Every structure is written in structure tokens, then in C-alpha cells.
Chain A
Amino acid sequence: MPTFNDFLILLPEAYLTVAACVILLMDAFLKGGQRVAIHWLSIIVLLVGAWLVIDGQPATAVSGFSGMFIRDPVAEILKVFSLLTTALMFIYSRGYLRDRNINEGEYYALTLFAVIGIMVLVSAGSLVTVYLGLELLTLSSYALVALNRDSKLSSEAAIKYFVLGALASGMLLYGMSMIYGATHSLDLATILHVQNVEWRNLMLFGVVFAIVGIGFKLGAAPFHMWIPDVYQGAPTAVTIFIGTAQKIAAFGMAYRLLDSGLGAYAHEWRMMLAVLAVLSLAIGNLLAIVQTNLKRLLAYSTISHMGFLLLGLVEANPAGYSAAMFYAISYALTSAAAFGIILAMSRAGFECEEIDDFKGLNQRSPWFAFLMMLVMFSLAGVPPLFGFFGKLLVLQSAIDAGFLWLAVVGAVFAIIGLYYYLRVVKVMYFDAPVEGTDVRAQPDMPLRFVLSLNALALLALGIAWGPLFAWCQRAFGITA
């Protein structure tokens, strides 16, 4: 029977649900210029949510609703960074939405609902909550991708995302039904401790299907087909969500399912993840080289980054998970800044998404060219930026796991990846601007300020990465 304590554990999620409904109602009643209130209110809602998550965090893991919902330090970190990156996205997106006449109220409300989905997903203690959290997240995302109704590309992306996403959900559900059939339980903690040799093969099938679902959510090859089209077709204000908070959620889902639920089968799923990692690294990095569209390039770069993230999961112990979580956070913050710059450069009727649009940016907006350079170096993993330490830690964990060859493959592809990130930098600094174009950042002060802060944070966190990594390690019970 749920008691008051169960609801106390759920406070941040309950608060966000109420806030999302309030914002939805405000959109119905506010008119014209008053709607800017929704924008700022949504950001405040997210920040207060992050505060509630940190403030109410119990010292040890607690679970509520008969073990369906777990509030532990891992969930805390993942939730805080999902909320923060979503807040960043709201700040970056305002001008973009206004210029393209996208329904702002629904955008904020649907995103908030998707964030609730993320929070449920990363706190899931049962297969039911994993699935429902995932559905809440993805259903909102499908609608968000289609939100720009005047764009054919956007509708096409939404349909592809919807069909492939439904297929992946079906696979995951099929795997869950097998796991349930083999263990007679939906509770992840119970599944972890079931000893049954009789149904081992059925269980392994379930593990494979679970990996398919996770691979699809991460966008790891060979389940990456939707990523480039959705990244390019979705409004950039939505792409940023798929590229940041959703990746943190996907890591949370992988951790919950694979470690909390299927930890007894780590020996089997490690090999599967290693294959996914190599494929993602190869496909992501090699196909990114030929891209001319920056959003597509970032999409393929996501695939390769998910390959790196999987290197951390392959170790299948707390050290590996903390490295993977650190990587997920570093990727989310970096990609938030990357899409933020695309949003800042776009204006009504012009999407600044071709690499050629960035030609000679240094002559027009030297500050933004510098920020973009920081972002690209961080994505490439150049020291001393944030992305470098992420890569270092996951490669380290792959070596510790005994997958030396995997670490070598990772390092080789990191160097290949350097090429296309540096190409963007080269275009900005050494090419002449295209005649007749005028690519400049929007004169939106909050955007400029926060974006600068975000990009500089990549440098700051790269130099002082210790505290954040220690936080990640503590979450998994490692005391340094």
C-alpha cells in the first residue's frame, strides 16, 4: 500500500507534473506578448526541480511504490543534469521558436512531460516503470519533432522516428515479456537475484531484445538509422533535446536494465555492447567525414560518442559506470553548446546548419567562432577540454575491463574523428566568408550570455574535472 513516504520520494516528479499542467493552461489563457512569461516560468520550473532533486536527496538509496521507483545518487545526478541541459535548451530556443511560428506553449509543456519521463526512467526499479518512463519520453519527443508543421523535412523525420521508435519499443517489450516469463517478476532487484538455469536461454533472448531497445535509445550502430534524419529534420530547438537530455536518459536506462536487472548476465551482454561500440565508432566517425550539413555531422558524431559511452559500460562495474556517466554528462553539456550556437546563428527564414554557413565566422563574430572552436575541440577530445577527460576515462575503463583491443579501436577512431571537427574550425578561421551572406548571432542577450557560459564551462570543467568525476564515483559507491 503506498504511504505518504512514497509520495515524498516522488516529490520532484510530482512537482514537475503539476508545473507542466500549469504551463499548459497558461498557454491557453495568455495572449501575444504575455507569453514570454511561459518561457521564463519554464526555466524557473526546471531549476527549482533540480533544486528539489538535490535538496530532498536521501543519504542512501530509498525506494517507493513497492520498489517501482528508486531514488538513489545515480538517479540524482542524471536528473540534475537532464533538468539543467533542458533549461539551457529553453534559453537557446526562444528566438528560434518565435521566428518559425512554432507553438511555444506546447513546446514547453511537451518538453516538461518528456523530462518527467526521463526522471521516471532513470529512477525505474521495475520493468513497468522502465517501459512507461521510456514511452512518456519518446511519445513527447515524436510530437516535438513534428512540431514545425510547415516543414516537410520535419514531418518526414517525425514519421521515421515514430515508426522506428515504435518498433524498438516493441522489441524492448518483447524482451521484457521473456525476462518476465523466465523470472516471474517485473521487479529489477528480484530479477537480479533469481537463480534459474532451466530458462537460461529464454532469459538470454530477453537480454538481447533489451540491448536492442537500449541500442536504439542511445542511437548506437546498428540501431542508428533514425539519428541523422531526425537530427537534421527536427527543429534545432528539438534536436538539442534529443542530443542532450535524452542521451543522459539512455545511459540511465542502460544502467537500470543491464546492471540493476540483468547484472547476472553481464558476461554475455558485455560482448554484445563491445560489438555495438565498435560498430558505432566506425560508422559514426567514417560517415561524419563526408557530411556537409552540420546537424547531420553532429548526428554521426553522436553515434560515435555513444560508441565511447558503451566502452565505459563494457567494464560492467561501478568504475566503468561512473566513467560512462561522466562521459554522458560531458557529451550532453558539449552538444548543448554546439546546438546552441546553431540556434544562435539561425534567424527567420535561415537555418545556419550547413558547414559552409560558418565560413569566415571569425571575421564576423570572433567571439562565437571562439566558442564554436571550444565546442568542436571538446567533442574531438582535445586536452584540456571537458570531452578529453570523458574519453580518457572510458578508454581507461575499457583497458581495465580487459578489452585492450577495444580501447585501441576507440583511440584510432578518436583521431579519425579529429578530422571533421577540425574541418569546422578551419572553415571558420581560414576561409573567406561567402559573399552576400550575413551570418551573425542573434542579439538576444540571455542567449549570448548563457551560451558563452556553457562553452567556457567546457574549458573550466576540463581543467577542474575532479569534483564532478568524484561525484559520479560516489554515486556508484566508490570512495576515492
Chain B
Amino acid sequence: MNPQLIQLIMFYAFGAVAVGAALAVITLRNSVHAVLSLVLTFFSVACIWLLAEAEFLAIALIVVYVGAVMVLFLFVVMMLDIKMEQVREGFARYLPVGIIVALVMLAEMIGMIGVRAMGLHVMGEDPAAAAGLSNTAWLGHALYTQFLLPFEIAAIILTVGIVAAVALTLRHRGGVRHQSAAEQVAVDPRTRMRIVKMASETMPTETVPPVAPSQETSP
């Protein structure tokens, strides 16, 4: 069979898995299953990007989204309604779906490696190869020259994300006890301790009780 046809078939296979898994994300009632499906969606999309010779983006998608963001999601979803029995039986309950997701990923990976071994011809020419650069270097060049403006705007969008998250969740409640590290560090010995100079007494029988340091104030 000619390699181009196989690659086309693989492209459609990855696409089908991605779409199917994405549908599962929004239709499954169990939120942990939905997150696992989302992992599968990202993985399939990463495979499609590998077919398109966008290696750096594919790896970034796996490392950042599947590796970090999705695991965080999973933690959050599992923490949402926390009951100890559910947490204990969670492993067995989510195992089948986890295994299915893992198996599909494995199949995709094997397919991917097989297809890459044939050399890629599907997605038109590769601008990175045309420029004589590696994929990552070319991406860096493009981001900081041709796409500098969108890159900076994306940075502003992330700033807005942070500001919005803080503005919507930070509340200054009155009467809450908390530590103020700045005040603790900036403390002066004179405010905490009073040194009382006393003339030495001549009568040995009476001893002066030690001066108690003033009560520490916890701000």
C-alpha cells in the first residue's frame, strides 16, 4: 500500500478519535470520565500535529495540557465532592475507562511511530524544513518576528485572566485571623521587649523578679 494512503487513513483515524472523545467530554455524566476523555482528545490532536510535522507544538500539548493542566483538572474534579468511601472506591471505578483511554492512546502511539517511520508526505510542505531550521527554532523565529504582535496581545490576555481571577475570588473579610509576614519581619526589638535598667540592690535577701516581656501582638 502506498504510504500516502496509510497516512491519510491515520489522519482520519486520529481525527475520528479526537471528535469522538470530544463528544464524550460533553455527554458523559461522570466528570472524571469526561476529564479522561479530554485527555484522549488532546492526545489525538497532538498526533494530528505530529502528522503535520509540528513536533514542538505536539510535545507542548502533551507536556503542558495532558501532563499538567489535565492532571490538575482531574484533581479538582475528584476533590469537588469529597467523601472518603468514594475516594477509596474511585480507583476501581475509574479503572476501566482509564484503561480504555490508555489503550486507545497506545494504539495511536504505535500507529504514529509506524507512520513517521515511512516519512511524511500528507500535509503539504513544511515551512521549517524550507527555511532550513528545526521545528522549534522556526517556531521561535516566527513568534518573535512575524507573529510578534499577536504574541504580545496573548500576553495581555493572560494578564487579564489573572486580574479577573483575582478580582472575582479575592475577598477581604473582616475578623479573619491570619499572619502578616511583612509585619513579623519588620518588627523591632524595642516594640517587643522592654529593658528595665535598675540600680543594683544592696540587700541580698530581696530579689527582683524578672521583667516579663510585653505580650506579643499577633497582627
What chain A residues lie within 8 Å of B160 (beta carbons)? 110, 113, 136, 139-140, 143
Cα(A147)–Cα(B168), bound, Å: 6
Of A113, A132, A139, A149, the residue contacting B150 (CB under 8 A) is A132
Q: A132-B154, A136-B156 are in contact. Are A142 and B164 (CB under 8 A)?
A: yes
What chain B residues lie within 8 Å of A143 (beta carbons)? 160, 163-164, 167-168
Cα(A65)–Cα(B167), bound, Å: 33
Q: Number of contact residues on A: which range applies?
A: 20 to 34
Within residues 130 to 148 of chain B, which ones have a CB less than 8 A from any CB in chain A?
Answer: 145-148
Of B145, B156, B161, B167, the residue contacting A103 (CB under 8 A) is B167
Cα(A128)–Cα(B148), bound, Å: 11
What chain A residues lie within 8 Å of B148 (beta carbons)? 2, 65
Contact A106 B167 (CB under 8 A): yes
Looking at chain A's contact residues, the main secondary structure is helix
What chain B residues lie within 8 Å of A109 (beta carbons)? 163
B149 within 8 A of A: yes
Contact A2 B145 (CB under 8 A): yes
Cα(A10)–Cα(B157), bound, Å: 17
Looking at chain B's contact residues, the main secondary structure is helix
Cα(A64)–Cα(B148), bound, Å: 11
7 A-B pairs within 8 Å (CB atoms) are namely A66-B145, A106-B163, A106-B166, A110-B160, A113-B156, A128-B147, A132-B157
Cα(A374)–Cα(B168), bound, Å: 37
Chain A residue nearest to B171 in the complex (CB): A149
B159 within 8 A of A: yes
Cα(A64)–Cα(B145), bound, Å: 12
Chain B residue nearest to A102 in the complex (CB): B167
What chain A residues lie within 8 Å of B208 (beta carbons)? none
CB distance from A13 to the nearest CB of B (A): 9
What chain A residues lie within 8 Å of B150 (beta carbons)? 68, 126, 128-129, 132
Contact B163 A110 (CB under 8 A): yes
Cα(A147)–Cα(B171), bound, Å: 12
What chain B residues lie within 8 Å of A1 (beta carbons)? 145
Contact B163 A113 (CB under 8 A): yes
B153 within 8 A of A: yes
CB distance from B63 to the nearest CB of A (A): 24
What chain A residues lie within 8 Å of B147 (beta carbons)? 68, 128
A120 within 8 A of B: yes
Contact code string A118-144 (vs B, CB < 8 Å = 1, else 0): 001000001011001101100110110
What chain B residues lie within 8 Å of A338 (beta carbons)? none
